[in-house]
Amino acid sequence: MRFLIVDDSSTMRRIIVNTLAKIGHQEYVEAPNGRDGLDRLAASPVDVIITDWNMPEMNGLEFVRAVREQHGPDVPILMVTTNAAKDDIVEALRAGVTNYVVKPFSSSTLREKIDAVLPAKPA
């Protein structure tokens, strides 16, 4: 399983990588903003995208919309952000986000959200 982690904070990228490692996922690529994230995605496909909302160059919502436009509806996208208002969550879901994690989060919470968006394993 290959992940794309998009966040302008190297700290948050590292925290997510650590959580992925704890649950057995070692393959990932990182991007510091949405525009770089699109470039990474164009270079090679991923199975799950984890993205922040507030980023320079291209923010998370713009990135999500671009992903859906360019790569379709199938790749799961998990948004990790401090934006916790109901309106924010609705806006993100409408943009094409699959699931939502509000900072701060425990590793178990992030794990549950990741498991919830992972593609179902074949029977």
Binding region for another protein (CB under 8 A): 9-12, 14-15, 18, 54, 56, 82-85, 87, 102-106
- CA distances, 33 to each of 22, 39, 50, 115 (Å): 25, 10, 12, 24
3-state helix, strand, coil in the chain (%, to 5): 45, 20, 35
Q: How many whole angstroms separate alpha carbon 26 and alpha carbon 95? A: 28
Q: How far is the CB of 81 from another protein (least distance, A)?
A: 8
> For another protein, which is the closer residue by CB, 9 or 99?
9
